[in-house]
Amino acid sequence: MSDGNSYQGKCFCGSVKLSFSGMPEMMAYCHCDSCRHWAASPVSAFTLWKPDSVQITSGSESIGTYSKTPQSHRKWCTQCGGHLFTEHPEMGLTDVPAAMINGLSFKPAIHVNYQEAVLPLKDGLPKFKDLPKQAGGSGEELSE
């Protein structure tokens, strides 16, 4: 999945640095309670990458992990608390907050878990009650 694109990212203090190659598999917004709390935001803008497209280039010794569920291994910098990424082993994808990636033009395709939205967004994008069918959800779309 290399199309010549490469990007850089880092935690809040710069102790942990990441590089990204190619393009994300998906860019979207999540409205679930878990993502909102983790992001400390009313909505989470995320990108999904194949794990081999995400490389830790420095600071791996400063990465902490928290797993609220077996489906999500959230990673953060132990020096500053800055969020880095979330591994989703069952999906075979790595979730990286869009704001972490320098120079990436964020172009979301969908909203997921919109039934939990606390900040409705009227942007014309599909809004899934939970997840699309191919991602294991109901595939049910909600109106804006």
Q: What is the CATH number of domain 6-142?
A: 2.170.150.70
C-alpha closest to that of 131 among 122, 123, 121, 141:
141
Give the tens place of pLDDT for each residue, 47-84. 999 999 999 999 999 999 999 888 899 999 999 999 99
User: What is the average per-residue pLDDT within 29-49?
Assistant: 95
Torsion of CA 70, 27, 118, 35, to 10 degrees: 20
pTM beyond cutoff 0.75: yes
What per-residue confidence (pLDDT) applies to 109?
98
**Domain extents for the chain?**
6-142
